[in-house]
Structure 1
């Protein structure tokens, strides 16, 4: 059996982690197995499922807790004690440089650094120096540089690197078949139980943090409520900003207009409860949930931070700048609320044309792993 070590922060229900699980569930695990090296002591959302599928969750310290040298040693210990590994595949932004040093030190032939975002919020002088050093180690020690979008690749590897033969655009994948097989009965009952039948339902899925910009969504709801619109917002997810968002909801007096669902396993059903999907990210690698929203036939209103690669080119992408302001975004929602749903046939064809199907992505990844 061939084994690959994925290096992540923690296997919570974020875009990168969900993509990895979509791959993991669909590979032939009798021939290829994944282990997941995670940082910190906490448990991840997907940990139990990973163990049931035959993978290992291996925990080490965060680099900022122990330093560069000790981080390299801890990863090296994992490689020696849990391998042999055909490949080491790092998803930890610039900390991937540490993983690549360890992988090369331990004679791993296939060493992959994977870019999933276009920015982070730590751009002080110390951080810039760290980025420059880690980018050097990433480009020097990786045998393959993958990115979910061109801008993500430039951000992590630098402009020169994306013309290197090691660089490859790797499409994210979603479980689109699950989205097509939603339950109409669930949708009917959920809308009835939450008084959504007569409302305009805005949807958003994402970790509650500054980058996803849920505060802007609450401003939109406040504005539309002030215009006497029957508006509801489904906020699917959780995160460090939950308490702050709850306080804003109370301050804006929009408690009856916002439904905080928490982290859900039935996103395929919830997408079909929405009229418009709104995604006002401040920065974003790709936006995996946008592929899911389009697969459900939803019109999407997106910020300038969203990459072109996330567009299935079926007429559902509507781009606005955050600087256009709340009123412009609210008006676009009202304009799109009655958009007819596309057929699943048209969406499937778009997914195939853009190489976002599970089969296409796994085939490409198996070639990278040389399986």
Structure 2
């Protein structure tokens, strides 16, 4: 079985990391795996080179690239593979894949409720092309029921095979160490890109109410992004500078997980939410909102009480965990085992293998 995964670049990001780790797992399982990139620029490129996985460059210059030479080259390359697995959308790439001899799988890793906004003409053209080509693939896969429902709402997908394959993560047994409860101050954590859709404002608002209601704790926000200044302004306006640490971006988030007593992910409409799985692998409880999309599908089966409807319910859960720190330790092993059983990269690889096998 010869598979080609197509992603835009080896930049740091949830999709890129996920696809690279899955390709590695598929190679370990005995499949012939290659990766096609639009650009070799990115932090994961050196890591990719170490994996001895063949790399191809697509030649695609942008979302509206229709270069006929690029199309012919792509089609010729795709003909060499049994499966072409697309992980982001390009009309040129999708057409070349459709016209090739390969079977085409498209995985959608997330879809915001409003879809990406462009100027009106570009938006209409892009979404029309996307709807056309997504309805031509052999199998359409979503990383959560939430993502699949949104995709069906926007793109139809009535006459093609659709499936849900939950994301997986590489799990190293040596890293599975529950946080030891100690006498330090109750610590609330967040690990996230700082964008407006991540709704970090909800956590800050709830944390302020938590303190006003007698809660004693500290909050560490790990990450960076376009909304950093907005977050910083909100913290200052509420006078929380001494209670909230803006840690910035970090390549070593494990050291922060070891400081947290609980992780809060306040975003809405997440495609999946690997951050919850990472927290569970550290034995931490995860608090998320009812409108968090795919993230809710990770948290709710294990701890439905940690799905909140609003900031006041989040305050209640924070007060509960701050007063019952031993509750975190009591269920730590349960959380680790849940993540290992349901969200390993090996489980994800096996599910995709069955899909590929059925196509061939």
TM-score w.r.t. the length of structure 2 is: 0.80
1:201 to 187, 196, 204: 187
Query: In structure 1, what is the equivalent of residue 209 of structure 2?
Result: 223
| Contact 1:87–1:369 under 8 Å retained in 2 | yes
* DSSP-derived class of the 1:146 partner: strand
TM-score w.r.t. the length of structure 1 is: 0.78
Query: In structure 2, what is the equivalent of residue 254 of structure 1?
Result: 240
Tell me if 1:84 matches 2:94: no
Query: In structure 2, what is the equivalent of residue 166 of structure 1?
Result: 161
Residues 124 and 333 of structure 1, relative CA distance in 2, 3 Å threshold: farther
Query: In structure 2, what is the equivalent of residue 336 of structure 1?
Result: 321
**Distance in 2 between the 1:50 and 1:123 partners?**
32
Matches within 5 A, 1:29-178: 31-38=31-38, 43-55=41-53, 56=55, 58=57, 60=59, 63-64=62-63, 67-70=64-67, 74=70, 76-78=72-74, 80=76, 84-92=80-88, 95-105=89-99, 107-119=100-112, 120-122=115-117, 126=121, 127=123, 130-140=126-136, 142-158=137-153, 164=159, 166-177=161-172
List alignment gaps of at least 5 residues for structure 2: none
1:294-315 deviations in Å (ceiling 9; x for gaps): 3333222212223353236222
- 277-286 or 55-64: which moved more? 55-64
**Distance in 1 between the 2:166 and 2:145 partners?**
11
Residues 302 and 123 of structure 1, relative CA distance in 2, 3 Å threshold: farther
**Distance in 2 between the 1:14 and 1:176 partners?**
18
Query: In structure 2, what is the equivalent of residue 2 of structure 1?
Result: 2
**Distance in 2 between the 1:222 and 1:346 partners?**
30
1:130-154 deviations in Å (ceiling 9; x for gaps): 32431121112x1111101122123
List alignment gaps of at least 5 residues for structure 1: 192-196
**Distance in 2 between the 1:218 and 1:156 partners?**
31
CA RMSD of aligned residues (A): 3.5
Matches within 5 A, 1:296-311: 296-303=282-289, 304-307=291-294, 308-311=296-299
**Distance in 1 between the 2:146 and 2:227 partners?**
26
Q: CA deviation at 1:274?
A: 1.3
